Chain A
Amino acid sequence: MAMEMRLPVARKPLSESVGRDTKKHLVVPGDTITTDTGFMRGHGTYMGEEKLIASVAGSVERVNKLICVKALKTRYNGEVGDIVVGRITERRRSAEDELAMRGFLQEVDLISAEVQAVFSDGAVSLHTRSLKYGKLGQGVLVQVSPSLVKRQKTHFHDLPCGASVILGNNGFIWIYPTPEHKEEDAGGFTANLEPVSLADREVISRLRNCIVLLVTQRVMLYDTSILYCYEASLPHQIKDLLKPEIMEEVVMETRQRLLEQEG
């Protein structure tokens, strides 16, 4: 039986034809951003002997008098109103908690929730007070960097290709089969464990590979980009999508369509 094996090779340097001319000010830690003391310092900078110095590697962003450096990869910083997808690892054990919540949500459950409040040390408090949040049933979870998830009005998308996706702001993306009918009364705390059809499973697998593809090429994730990538990937087999040459081809086409749509 023949098997395909690939050995790791050095990455090719990015071809200059991709992307527009970027006039951004790129810095690495230790670089002096400015010696003008009139600016306020934001994230990614610190003050050292009369100069503003970068503390992360990324691009400098200036909003009026505020200078900050946006790093390539950042830990997720919660903001009120964000949607997050996560797995319950630990919970408070109090008497009332035992009575009320354990019936619905246990450890190890995957849930979607909304950020209610942010504490000063960065911790967030979540709520599932709407029927659209709650326990997640069958589907595929993809973990990506939070900086690649585009901020949009809604993060719950029913894609026309036959599956639905939740783009969590924390970088956790949940792909699941579109429910046949919205079960308003169940409220999202009972998981749907009926078998998923093969066609649905193929759509979900393809979507998952598309998302991984987009992430490796650092394309922002939102419903349109995922959809275009899905359509561009149709000529290829699902398992071929993760091969580097096919990845480049599909991403090139996706970028093309996205540019056309914007321009």
Chain B
Amino acid sequence: AGGRCSGSWRAMSPAYVPFLPQIRGSRARALPDRALVNCQYSSATFSTGERKRRPHGDRKSCEMGLQLRQTFEAAILTQLHPRSQIDIYVQVLQADGGTYAACVNAATLAVLDAGVPMRDFVCACSAGFVDSTALADLSHVEEAAGGPQLALALLPASGQIALLEMDARLHEDHLESVLEAAARAARDVHTLLDRVVRQHVREASVLLGD
């Protein structure tokens, strides 16, 4: 079973979840009690301002793939499919800041579409701190300005955090407000995704009749 979706956010990324549980390549990597989640990130050569030479295989792509994997391992119920592999391929078509968040949101829809069991949606957003104000959903220009920025992936129903990542210096007094801004934006994304998915499920069930 495969699922696909196109994230219609700042950075667009279609995500594929092909071949739900299936072992390919090294059987030795199979985990006996749960599924292996494999995420690959690639960005199209035309996605950034300057044409990119290497769409995938560079450090940023590997790191992004790892982060996506951590995020989805927290959300997918991997115990239900032992000794199998779930592949998630994400490709960014247009990068204008918040690429991690866009990838997570798109991949959530793809995983959902493929019928892979998950705890909840995973909604993500980036946030930063500029001029004593917490900003959510940073654009490329705002990211390049060099202020502290964090990426948050949330499981909205329970409020649990799937991934929280920041590599900058931020005074702990400000952490609360920045985190709050990101969480609020992630919840807004959830509202949107929720609405779209419900509509789709409703249409499909009407079409199927019975």
Is A74 close to B, CB under 8 A? yes
1/0 per residue, CB under 8 A from B, across A214-241: the answer is 0001111000000000000000000000
Question: Which chain B residues (84-101) contact chain A, with CB distance < 8 Å?
Answer: 84
Do A55 and B208 form a contact, CB below 8 Å, given A26-B202, A30-B156, A46-B77? no
Q: Which of B81, B84, B113, B205 contacts A22 (CB 8 A)?
A: B205
Nearest B residue to A45, CB-CB: B117
Task: Report if B11 contacts A (CB, 8 A).
Answer: no
With the chains together, A55 CA to B21 CA distance in Å?
17
Contact assessment for A218 and B83 in the assembled complex, using a CB-CB cutoff below 8 Å: no
Inter-subunit contact A29/B118 (CB<8 Å): yes
The answer, among A22, A73, A76, for a CB contact under 8 Å with B114, is A73
CA distance A73 to B205 in the complex (A): 11
Of the 9-residue stretches A13-21, A160-168, A201-209, which lies at the interface with chain B?
A: A13-21
**At the interface, yes or no: A107 with Cβ under 8 Å from chain B?**
no
B194 — which chain A residues lie within 8 A by C-beta?
A: 28
A57 lies within 8 A of B207 (CB) = no
The answer to whether A30 touches B117, judged by C-beta atoms less than 8 angstroms apart, is no
Q: Which of B82, B120, B208 contacts A30 (CB 8 A)?
A: B120
* Assembly CA distance A58 to B204 (angstroms): 9
Beyond A19-B207, A46-B117, A55-B119, whether A28 also contacts B77 by CB under 8 A is no
* Cα–Cα distance between A46 and B157 once the two chains are bound (Å): 14
Find out whether the CB atom of B1 lies under 8 angstroms from the CB atom of A74: yes
- Known interface pairs A57-B197, A121-B82; A26-B115 also in contact (CB < 8 Å): no
4 additional A-B residue pairs with CB within 8 Å, beyond A28-B201, A46-B119, A56-B115: A20-B209, A26-B202, A73-B3, A218-B204
The residues of A with any CB-CB pair to B shorter than 8 Å are: 13-14, 18-20, 22, 24, 26, 28-32, 44, 46, 48, 53, 55-59, 71-76, 121-122, 145-146, 217-220, 255
